[in-house]
Amino acid sequence: MAPLGKNVKVLVVGAGAMGSGIAQVAARAGHTVYLYDGCAEAITAGRAAIEKDLRFLVAKGRLGETEAAATLARVVPVTTLSEARDAALAIEAIVENLDVKRKLFAELESTLGADAIIASNTSSLSINAMAAGLARPGRLAGLHFFNPAPRMALVEVVSGLTTDRDVAETLYATARAWGKMPVHATSTPGFIVNRVARPYYAEALRVLAEHEAEPATLDAILREGCGFAMGPFELMDLIGHDVNFAVTKSVFDAYFGDRRFAPSPFQQELVAAGRLGRKTGRGIFEYGELAAKPVP
């Protein structure tokens, strides 16, 4: 199956951590990318985050200035979905909530062309449950990028029971053309990576609750001693505790309360306190001018 051509316009809905990163990937691959968010400030912030990262890549000598400018110029902010009606691929990266996503998909179906593909960057929600509300469920699949999307190679292409095979294969080929390492997955709770990764976070949070080790110590052990790219606490701070907690609850519920996937009350309290991680300046660690240091 051929990838989508560079002339295909892509709509990214949700301009937060993931949406802005995904928009950057698609624009870098040559597509015009409409960037939409329900919150106008998020669109501005998302485009600014893309610009900042492109500048960083130029400074590091990993990207030419002309290509960086052309990439940014291809990211077109839009404040209504109808401005993006000629997009042939929409990638949703909004809040991890089934009802909110379903409402968006209904809007997308009434706005986009009949053949447009609708992809969700959901970390854990059922593709079948999302597709069930669509007039054309075959056009919906998961396209699950990892954080930060411009750096992480893996993309899970998630098929539900009704996803057209051509849709999944087109997404697979397109992700590959975008320089990613796609894998096919089926719509099971947490798909592949988030199923395997849940106990990694959960056990680390249990160690913390039992005062067995300081977060920075455990992170260093796993990073430097075991070869993980990041320790569990710094990774949760990067993902965002709101997102991580929502994903854990979703996987736990989907496995009928299997204790292996039990959410952590401590993470629930972090979310309640607004300590969401890097994005709010404080999570398990503090972020600011000082180097990240553990919160007492």
Residues annotated as catalytic are: 123, 144, 156, 194
> Minimum CB separation from ligand NAI for residue 13, in Å?
5
132 CB contacts (<8 Å, ≥6 apart)? none
Asked whether position 123 contacts ligand NAI by CB under 6 A, the answer is yes
Q: Which residue, 102 or 213, has its beta carbon nearer to ligand NAI?
A: 102
Residues 137-166 that bind ligand NAI (CB under 6 A): 145-147
Q: Which residue, 5 or 281, has its beta carbon nearer to ligand NAI?
A: 281
How far, in Å, CA of 246 to CA of 261, rounded?
Answer: 12
Residue nearest to ligand NAI (CB): 16
Pull the structure tokens for residue 72. 């940014």
Q: Which residue, 78 or 243, has its beta carbon nearer to ligand NAI?
A: 243
Asked whether position 24 contacts ligand NAI by CB under 6 A, the answer is no
Asked whether position 13 contacts ligand NAI by CB under 6 A, the answer is yes
Alpha-helix runs per DSSP H in 165-264: 165-177, 193-209, 215-220, 232-239, 241-254
Q: Which residue, 168 or 239, has its beta carbon nearer to ligand NAI?
A: 239
Q: What value does the CA radius of gyration of the chain take, rounded to a whole number of Å?
A: 19
Alpha carbon 189 to chain centroid distance?
16
Residues 44-103 that bind ligand NAI (CB under 6 A): 93-96, 100
> Minimum CB separation from ligand NAI for residue 1, in Å?
24
Q: SS3 of 184, please?
A: strand
How many Cβ atoms are within 10 Å of 221's Cβ, its own excluded? 13
> Minimum CB separation from ligand NAI for residue 221, in Å?
22
Phi first, then psi: what are they for 102, rounded to 5°?
A: -60, -40
Distances (CA, A) of 93 to 104, 106, 157, 240, 289: 11, 15, 14, 14, 29
Q: Which of 16, 142, 190, 263 binds ligand NAI (CB under 6 A)?
A: 16
Total residues binding ligand NAI (CB under 6 A): 27
> Minimum CB separation from ligand NAI for residue 244, in Å?
8
How far, in Å, CA of 286 to CA of 278, rounded?
Answer: 8
Residues 253-292 that bind ligand NAI (CB under 6 A): none
Q: Which residue, 70 or 253, has its beta carbon nearer to ligand NAI?
A: 253
> Minimum CB separation from ligand NAI for residue 73, in Å?
22
β-sheet with 140-145: strand ranges across: 75-77, 33-36, 10-13, 89-92, 117-120, 140-145, 154-159, 181-186
Q: Which residue, 67 or 237, has its beta carbon nearer to ligand NAI?
A: 237
Please say whether the beta carbons of 103 and 56 come within 8 A. Answer: no
> Minimum CB separation from ligand NAI for residue 208, in Å?
20
Phi first, then psi: what are they for 232, rounded to 5°?
A: -65, -35
- How many residues are there in the chain? 296
Contact range with ligand NAI by CB under 6 A, out of 15-23, 52-60, 201-209, 281-289: 15-23
Q: Which residues bind ligand NAI (CB under 6 A)?
A: 13-19, 37-39, 42, 93-96, 100, 104, 121-123, 145-147, 239-240, 243, 247
